[in-house]
Amino acid sequence: MTSHSINDARLLNRLRALGEIGRNPDGGPTRLAASETEKLGRDQFVAWLKEADLDVAVDRIGNIFGVWKPQGTESHDPLMLGSHIDTVINAGIYDGCYGVLAGLEVIATLREVGFQPSRPIVVGAFTNEEGVRYAPDMMGSLVYAGGLDVEEALATVGIDGSNLGEELAAIGYAGSHEPGFMKPHAYIELHIEQGPVLEREGFPVGAVDSLQGISWQQIIIDGDANHAGTTPITMRKDAGVAAARVITFLRERAKASNTPTVATVGCISFEPNAINVIPSKATFTIDLRDPDEDRLLAEEAALADYLRTVAQEEQVTITAERLARFQPVKFDGEIVRTIEEAALARGLKSKRMTSGAGHDAQMIARIAPAAMIFVPSVAGISHNPKEFTSETDLVAGANILLDVVCKLTAPRE
């Protein structure tokens, strides 16, 4: 599709440099959304945008955009690239950051070789994709796509009691543009797989045609605290046991299924959290995922039924709160085929696949044709300092992104 290639040294050096910002002494970086360490990452990204002579725009939810708008393209909607630069706690250096920096590298390369696109090209870094400090995850892209009111999002209170709007203002990224101020012509996100499929099956490229649906809930179980030694088992209202039953139910149901449904309990706490006291309260999260909406609905219904059963049998009270709910997403078939063609032209075989993780692309797909490119993750490890993708695969993915961008913005005949 093109004879050009990205500046691999520049891309890899920037990935490593960004990975040092917020790094823990004995692990990986921690740049939670709107934190002081994320501010440093944002500042570095903006500096690189200016180095590439791009216009910098920040919207009210803190999304950052680098805009290349060559003369004569002003009346056309832009092709948007991007991902995020916030991280989980003690993260790897590739998740999100790779897509943002590769997008920047593609634009820089095209400018340097004198490519004249038929429309503007934009690279974006979306706010709070990870959802660690503020819920829901993928917040910046969700607001941008109109799925969450910006005022509601800015009023979000984080796990540390902070207010998102105030924190964005404090770090200097409460922008003036209304979210959605640029409607993308299309959106492409390059990302590490964060799973083992590509490496295990020997594919250097994933052409992602869909994303799993996600259901997040918080479960609160209220029982009675009592003495661990004097209270007979049959007379207990043990919130801990009830929680254990729910967790086991989810695990066994997923294992017994021949579907790709997965269920995870990632957070749990007991009160009063004492070794010799029966728990009076258990609070935990449930993450359900499936690429099929009907199956996801069935899993949610099965969980609700089981919660009622456990409440009755254990004599406890159970309440469930929905934290986030996103339907499965089908990406644009034409863009997916363009990704496959670009890989083939580079002598690389690709695999059509579903993403098990949520990404900003699933939000932007609400307002524009979208698709994703995956490159392998060694051993499928992510959200961990051991997260790793080879330089060969990183460069290959960025060059495929370059080719796809050239195809989608080729000058009109």
Tokens of 399: 């060059």
Phi first, then psi, for residue 208 (nearest 5°) are -85, 115
Element (H, E) at 97: helix 97-112
The Cα–Cα gap between 76 and 185 comes to 8
CA nearest to 378, candidates 92, 82, 31, 9 = 92
Tokens of 291: 């690429």
Decide if 281 contacts 226 (C-beta within 8 A): no
The answer to whether 185 is annotated as binding is no
The vertex-239 CA angle with 238 and 240, nearest 5°, equals 90
Report how far Cα 234 is from the mean position of its chain's Cα atoms: 45
Tokens of 190: 């390059």
Phi first, then psi, for residue 90 (nearest 5°) are 55, 65
The answer to whether 84 is annotated as binding is yes
The answer to whether 383 is annotated as binding is yes
The Cα–Cα gap between 182 and 55 comes to 13
Element (H, E) at 271: strand 268-271
Phi first, then psi, for residue 326 (nearest 5°) are -130, 130
Q: Checking phi first, is residue 120 left (phi over 0); if not, alpha (psi -120 to 50) or beta?
A: beta
Tokens of 205: 């490229």
The answer to whether 359 is annotated as binding is no
- Helix, strand, or coil (residue 350): strand
- Residue 272, preceding peptide bond in cis (omega within 30° of 0): yes
Sign for the CA dihedral angle at 285, 291, 294, 298 comes to negative
Known binding residues: 84, 95, 130, 191, 383
Known binding residues for Zn(2+): 84, 95, 130, 191, 383
